[in-house]
Structure 1
Amino acid sequence: MQIKSNDDRFIPLRKADVVQACIEMDNLPKGSIKQFQLLCQLITSTLHFEYHQNLETLKDNYAPFDPNSDVQSIRVFSEGELEAKQALFANVFIEVLNAANFEKITEQDLREALEEESLFKVRLAVEFDDFSEVVFYRRGEHQKTDTIRKWWGLKKDTITFTNYDKVAVYIKFKDKDYFKQHKKAVSNFEPGSTIIKLFQNVPKADLEMLFPNSKVRMRTIDKAIIGGSAVAGGAVVLVTKLGASLVVLAGLFSFWLGFSDRSVTITSQQLIVLGTGIGILGGFIFKEWSKFKNRKLRFMKALADNLYFKNLDNNAGVLHHLIDAAEEEECKEAILAYYFLTVDGPMSSEQLDSKIEAWLEHQFNLKVDFEIKDALLKLLRFGIVVKQNHHYHALPIVAAQKQLDARWDSLFNC
């Protein structure tokens, strides 16, 4: 079961479904359905062109930091140039995340995630000092309930937790000098590189598993279980298996340390007993060490399994994914704002915002914090909506088509 947060800007509908839902309301001027569909295509094409430019900017400025690049660079950038590229990339990347209606995960959220117990019963440690920059963004926040098993499956508990539909991670590692100075091994990443990852269906309590250098640690209860088992098993071995060997060793040490003047003669039989005892002790220690390692490996497998199904994309691939998501959100916002201004007439920003949010809740049972300011700014920039006396007026559909068509024709004017 899940309960959606009511302050989410994300509209969880496909753009095509939004257009179809507008048409099915049957409020458009008679005979203008095809014109409205064409206008939606023009809006989509215009935004697609704009976001293609953003994608090229992101790719160009991320290239020097991409750890997965398979192309050869034909020039060496100075330190100043690299800093400028990193800064421009970060700014545009955040703009795209915002357009895709992602929200920043605050430092407080991260601290709470590190303090909360993992839903997968895995304790992780993160070396934050390895990073020079860490930014997390999420989209789609829900309260979910789930049933977990405790005490080896003998007890079931129902828990409620915060879950994120999508989480974007932006991390920049420190340079080589830092890792060399602190004598830290580098195997899974390139010092100074920037990694970008996109995950889905992530519980807030498990955000730490998304860090690239997280390490599995044994929980206190796991240490207690293994330690208790080792102590109990050791006591049994001492009493039942090593008694004869301990008697021989006690006599030897007493004589060597001067506590007894009675010399001890070790027979071949006693040597066999002593060797057998040492072998049993060594076998017991190895068995307990294997238990510890196997339990840790199970935790690592649980972590790997969860990450495998939660990972959506990495590095440069994330850029394409987010650009597409931003396009979709921008299109849905612009189309809905234009549609309601067309069928219901001029409105203030507040009236239009309330109308769209009420329609989304009534039609699809969605509580959305609609981005009315962003939607109207796009329509004003396109010239298909005008503002008069704090009210917004939509151009007729055919006139809006001509305006967007003329704007498109002027994009490549030299």
Structure 2
Amino acid sequence: MSTTKPNGRSQGPAAEASPPAADPPGTIEPPGHFIPLTRKYLRASLLKYLKDDGADVRPFTHALHCLASWRHNQYRTRLLHLLEDYLPFLPDGDTTCLADVTETEKSAAHRRFIDGVQALLESANYRRLREEDIQKLLDAKTPYGLHLNVDLTAFDDVLIYYRGTAERVREARNPWLLYLRKEQFNEPLFQRLFLLLKLKPVEARAKELMDQDGIDYGKAEKKVRKIRSQLPVGVTSSHIYLKLFKRIPKVDVEMLFPNTKISFRPFDKLKLFVTAGGGTVAGVAGSASKLLVATNPITLSIALAGLSGVVFRQVMGFFNTRNRYMMVLAQNLYFCTLANNRGALTLIADRAEEEDTKEDMLLYVFLARREAVSRDDLDAVANDIQTFLKERCGVSVTFDLADALRRLEEDGLVSEDEDGELTTMAPEDARAHLDGLWDGLMDPGCMERVEKAKPAFEAL
């Protein structure tokens, strides 16, 4: 479902944390933590705000530049570790791994990777879809006339995250008005949608079907392999698939899964039955009457050709309807895909770095401009930041102050005494401090910590 399966292997803080509440399908979410501004624009707006406030802009410019560079280095290291954990499960790798990876090491890499991806998505201000919300989306009717069935129990890991919702206006002809008039309707969208999938091994899935259907292992395994044969070439349970999409209709989430099955809605079945059945019966009746009165081979041949044409037309009508469904599926996947697998992971890491950097710059500037700040003043600081974003930048955001404060404290730019008073480094000192952190990256102690943080296997 919306998380790794109960019998999946992903454990740890990120996996155990309950997903944040998502908004019901079809609604527009309230403002979240995502700041829909480029880093360059936000930095320029902050510097202009400081200049208007009478501050010396130059030291703040250097401090913000050093802060962004330091955050980039941290995310680069974070991404490299994730990519190393991803190597045993990468579907489209073009390099060779010469190291022997044991099952224990592979299982540990799997756990680290799932936890790391979830933490990265949360840093990028993505929100996790709950299991009940996913089920509502899968059960919803699509305006395309396309209905897809998805078997989520076939997956070992399923993660769905999104960031931002919107609506677009679409037009469609109403079948209850005999398709004579178009009607407009609002279609809810996910602005960004992330999907992680890993199929269950054939053996594990076969054992589940044994208990579910009451059959022996041989029949269950044969059933699983028959279903898996309908998947795209190269899709196996040994790979983890990452997908990133843009502007995906909420009711079309099910078409993003590789094991979808196309089925017709009751109205489509009724229409096909009436048109195909009625047309065939009429054609057969007309052809039969001609056959009964036929007195020469030419008349007989014409009657048989007419009967075959009627049957062929109705059969082709069925396949044309199915092909129309497939075209809608292909168009959505082609125009809405942003990145896959390693590219998706890199893009998410870039978005997470961007969000953290913007939050850190905002909090640092507003803390540095205050004479004294205590824990009790943090709500007022968050309100000031939100007011700045709304009045100066035209965006409504719920600023994630706690997360940004934690990072600034870890970097030593903000410190807290026993009384809860916060002290923020001056811009000149902050620049020198961050420069010192850069110099310390090559120290033996720092390099040893990096080595310890590496995966349990070494990829060559």
SS at match of 1:124: strand
Give the C-alpha shift of residue 191 in structure 1. 2.6
8 A Cα contact 1:6 1:368, kept in partner: no
Aligned to 2:225: 183
SS at match of 2:441: coil
Change (3 A) 1:287 1:10: same
Aligned match for 2:429, one of 390, 399, 405: 399
Give the C-alpha shift of residue 158 in structure 1. 3.4
Residue pairs, 1:14-163, within 5 angstroms: 14-27=38-51, 32-142=56-166, 144-151=167-174, 154-163=180-189
Q: Counterparts of 1:119 and 1:346 in 2: how far apart (Å)?
A: 57
Aligned to 1:361: 390
Give the C-alpha shift of residue 168 in structure 1. 0.6
Change (3 A) 1:40 1:108: same
Does residue 299 of structure 1 match 2:329?
no
Letter in 2 for 1:54: R
8 A Cα contact 1:176 1:192, kept in partner: no
Give the C-alpha shift of residue 97 in structure 1. 0.6
SS at match of 1:269: coil
Change (3 A) 1:136 1:334: same
Give the C-alpha shift of residue 68 in structure 1. 0.6
Q: Counterparts of 2:250 and 2:409 in 1: how far apart (Å)?
A: 38
Letter in 2 for 1:148: E
Structure exhibiting the larger radius of gyration computed from Cα positions: 1
Q: Counterparts of 1:109 and 1:270 in 2: how far apart (Å)?
A: 67
Q: How many residues align?
A: 392
Change (3 A) 1:107 1:3: closer
Aligned to 1:343: 369
Q: Counterparts of 1:349 and 1:390 in 2: how far apart (Å)?
A: 11
- The CA deviation string for residues 192-229 of structure 1, in whole angstroms up to 9 with x for no partner, is 21100100111221111111222322222222222111
Aligned to 1:220: 266
SS at match of 1:411: helix
Change (3 A) 1:6 1:361: farther
Does residue 197 of structure 1 match 2:226?
no
Change (3 A) 1:127 1:274: farther
In terms of mean alpha carbon deviation, does 100-109 or 4-13 score higher? Answer: 4-13
Aligned to 2:309: 283
Letter in 1 for 2:372: P
Change (3 A) 1:400 1:343: same
Does residue 318 of structure 1 match 2:344?
yes
SS at match of 1:69: coil
Change (3 A) 1:9 1:318: same
Aligned to 1:375: 404
SS at match of 1:242: helix
8 A Cα contact 2:163 2:193, kept in partner: yes
Name the % identity.
Answer: 26
- The CA deviation string for residues 28-51 of structure 1, in whole angstroms up to 9 with x for no partner, is 775632221111111111111111
8 A Cα contact 1:97 1:326, kept in partner: yes
Give the C-alpha shift of residue 273 in structure 1. 5.9
Gap regions ≥5 residues in structure 2: 1-25, 207-220, 445-460
Residue pairs, 1:212-251, within 5 angstroms: 212-245=258-291, 247=292
- The CA deviation string for residues 226-260 of structure 1, in whole angstroms up to 9 with x for no partner, is 21111221232133222143x59xxxxxxxxxxxx
Q: Counterparts of 1:361 and 1:318 in 2: how far apart (Å)?
A: 31
Gap regions ≥5 residues in structure 1: 249-267
SS at match of 2:391: helix
